[in-house]
């Protein structure tokens, strides 16, 4: 628990990425309504909330289930690696089974009633395990079973007030019918919770995307807007922290080599250890070569390097690199290089993100190259791709992993949803590779558009590719329009009139 700006304490949930969105966690000793449509991940969220409490903070929890029986919940959560039965044995987890099973006695109503029995059971379970967290999942069936909504609301309010008296932080899940619209079907939010989180499972551009949004925390700050998340088999919910990462000055003063001395010089001395370098250019111009060159330099320096290819198969990658004199297969044999090749279509973007994090956490590379991001556009929305890039680069920075990302277009980061500001906070170095047509021949041009905190070479150089790799030559002299593709040649000896066409 940590006090936030104005004194409302937060309880860190431990749900991966969520606390960054919630600016520290859920309001402590309060109940937060978690609303979502069927299949939006409410039960997983509720279970993850308790599981992370036990795993990361040693805080016992109570799961109040209205819908599925405890057996179903145990089985469901086991698929995320949560051994609920063991935690029950250890006295860290207790169920309150408020589900209504079909084989149960017939039930009739004759007169007025209260939820004192439920309140007493929750209190008893909470006191038995010493609960700091309670999850109640989910309200819809309660309203179906006890048909007077006013009574149900009143009684649930009482249950929640009881939790507050016990200083318990709780989540209460509730169904909603539409992804956008009222918070819940039963008007619960007006009665029960000052704090509302929405889970969504939306389809955008025919691509499925899960998001989480903190709608309100009474008296406590939170980030606004929707953030992508994924449900990961074996570990639970993982929220991509998205655009909330702000970048200061490079935190590492150590520079690494891009594998080409001239390119390092152009970048003002090579990227910093935690830098993100973008290499953009059209197909075949040499992006993959730049990525491989960067990794080869890492392996030569004894660093572990990871190549994540979204474009080519392993064999294609090996063959191409061999043609530039880079023996990736041999590097793999030394154990310093790992190649992961996956077509974008095999998984959702969020799943790719999580898979990459797992590989990185397992292999602990010091360098990583991702080739190429544009291939991911096939399975991602704009917003989703931006979240992916931001989440991944933030993760790499935190872990001081030098990275090179390739992209097939120069405007990947200047699309409508990604402003210039975003692009500049995302990357440290931007290298442009271009084809240039000069006097009837196609030549290659390279330019360092930006190098954070470094004095880069602003000139556009020619470069060539052969069986020994990439070679940077002289600056193109007397040409303009190289970056835009329409090259014009200054007449020999031309001078620019004062105040003339030079600007």
Partner 1 sequence: MATYSYRIYVAGNRPESSRAVANLRALCEASVCGDYELEVVDVFHQPDRAEVARVMVTPTVIKLAPLPRRRVLGDLSDGRAAAAALGLPGPDEHCRRS
Does 143 participate in binding partner 1 (rule CB under 8 A)?
no
Q: Which stretch binds partner 1 (CB under 8 A): 41-49, 119-127, 340-348, 460-468?
A: 119-127
Tally of CB atoms within 10 A around 227: 24
Sole binder of partner 1 in the list 71, 72, 90, 114 (CB under 8 A): 114
Smallest separation (angstroms) from partner 1 to the CB of 146:
7
Does 383 participate in binding partner 1 (rule CB under 8 A)?
no
Does 108 participate in binding partner 1 (rule CB under 8 A)?
yes
Sole binder of partner 1 in the list 6, 103, 104, 474 (CB under 8 A): 104
Catalytic residues: 67, 311
Q: What is the DSSP letter of 72?
A: H
Does 161 participate in binding partner 1 (rule CB under 8 A)?
no
Which helix or strand (DSSP H or E) is residue 475 part of?
Answer: strand 469-475
Does 188 participate in binding partner 1 (rule CB under 8 A)?
no
Q: Rounded distance, CA 142 to CA 188, Å?
A: 12
Q: Rounded distance, CA 173 to CA 45, Å?
A: 9
Does 46 participate in binding partner 1 (rule CB under 8 A)?
no
Does 147 participate in binding partner 1 (rule CB under 8 A)?
no
Of 476, 469, 429, which Cα lies nearest the Cα of 261?
A: 469
Sole binder of partner 1 in the list 103, 105, 455, 467 (CB under 8 A): 105
Q: Rounded distance, CA 155 to CA 119, Å?
A: 9
Does 348 participate in binding partner 1 (rule CB under 8 A)?
no
Of 257, 289, 319, which Cα lies nearest the Cα of 464?
A: 289
CB 12 within 8 A of CB 57: yes
How many residues make contact with partner 1 (CB under 8 A)? Answer: 26
Smallest separation (angstroms) from partner 1 to the CB of 121:
5
Contacts of 296 (CB under 8 A, 6+ apart): 259, 326, 331
Sole binder of partner 1 in the list 15, 50, 92, 125 (CB under 8 A): 125
Does 135 participate in binding partner 1 (rule CB under 8 A)?
no
Angle at 151 between CA 147 and CA 155, to 5 degrees: 120
Of 455, 469, 219, 438, which Cα lies nearest the Cα of 325?
A: 469
Does 107 participate in binding partner 1 (rule CB under 8 A)?
yes
Compute the Cα dihedral for 418, 419, 423, 425 and give only its sign: negative
Q: Which stretch binds partner 1 (CB under 8 A): 97-105, 132-140, 401-409, 476-484?
A: 97-105
Q: Would you tell me which residues interact with partner 1 (CB under 8 A)?
A: 96-99, 104-118, 120-121, 123-125, 146, 155
């Amino acid at each position: 628990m940590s006090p936030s700006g104005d004194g409302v304490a937060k309880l860190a949930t431990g749900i991966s990425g969520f606390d960054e969105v919630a600016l520290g966690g859920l309001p402590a000793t309060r109940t937060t309504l978690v609303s979502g449509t069927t299949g939006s991940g409410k039960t997983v969220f509720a279970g993850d909330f308790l599981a992370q409490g036990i795993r990361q903070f040693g805080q016992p929890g109570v799961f109040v289930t209205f819908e599925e029986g405890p057996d179903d919940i145990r089985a469901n959560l086991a698929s995320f690696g949560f051994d609920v039965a063991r935690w029950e044995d250890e006295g860290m987890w207790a169920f309150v089974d408020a589900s209504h099973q079909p084989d149960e006695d017939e039930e009739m109503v004759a007169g007025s009633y209260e939820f004192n029995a439920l309140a007493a059971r929750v209190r008893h379970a909470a006191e038995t395990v010493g609960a700091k967290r309670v999850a109640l999942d989910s309200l819809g069936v309660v309203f179906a079973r006890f048909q007077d909504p006013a009574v149900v609301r009143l009684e649930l309010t009482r249950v929640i007030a009881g939790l507050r008296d016990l200083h318990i932080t709780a989540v209460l899940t509730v169904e909603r019918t539409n992804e956008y619209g009222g918070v819940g079907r039963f008007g619960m939010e007006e009665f029960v919770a000052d704090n509302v989180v929405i889970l969504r499972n939306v389809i955008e551009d025919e691509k499925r995307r899960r998001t989480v949004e903190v709608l309100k925390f009474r008296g406590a700050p939170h980030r606004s807007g929707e953030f992508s998340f994924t449900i990961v088999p074996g570990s639970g919910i993982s929220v991509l922290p998205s655009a909330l990462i702000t970048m200061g000055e490079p935190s590492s003063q150590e520079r690494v080599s891009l594998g080409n001395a001239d390119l390092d010089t152009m970048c003002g001395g090579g990227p910093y250890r935690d830098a993100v370098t973008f290499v953009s250019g059209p197909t075949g111009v040499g992006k993959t070569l730049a990525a491989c060159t960067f990794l080869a330099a890492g392996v030569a320096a004894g660093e572990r390097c990871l190549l994540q290819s979204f474009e080519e198969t392993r064999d294609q990658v090996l063959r191409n690199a061999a043609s530039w004199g880079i023996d990736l297969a041999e590097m793999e044999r030394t154990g310093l290089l790992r190649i992961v090749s996956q077509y974008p279509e095999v998984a959702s973007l969020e799943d790719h993100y999580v898979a990459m994090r797992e590989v990185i956490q397992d292999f602990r590379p010091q360098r990583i190259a991702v080739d190429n991001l544009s291939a991911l556009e096939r399975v991602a929305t704009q917003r989703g791709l931006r979240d992916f890039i931001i989440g991944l680069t933030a993760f790499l920075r935190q872990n001081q992993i030098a990275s090179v990302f390739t992209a097939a277009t120069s405007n990947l980061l200047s699309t409508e949803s990604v402003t210039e500001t975003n692009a500049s906070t995302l990357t440290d170095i931007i290298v442009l590779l271009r084809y240039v047509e000069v006097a009837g021949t196609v030549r290659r041009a390279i330019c360092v558009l930006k190098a954070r905190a470094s004095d880069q070479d602003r000139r556009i150089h020619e470069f060539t590719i052969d069986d020994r790799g990439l070679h940077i030559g002289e600056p193109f002299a007397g040409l303009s329009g190289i970056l835009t593709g329409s090259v014009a040649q200054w007449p020999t000896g031309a001078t620019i009139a004062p105040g003339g066409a030079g600007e």
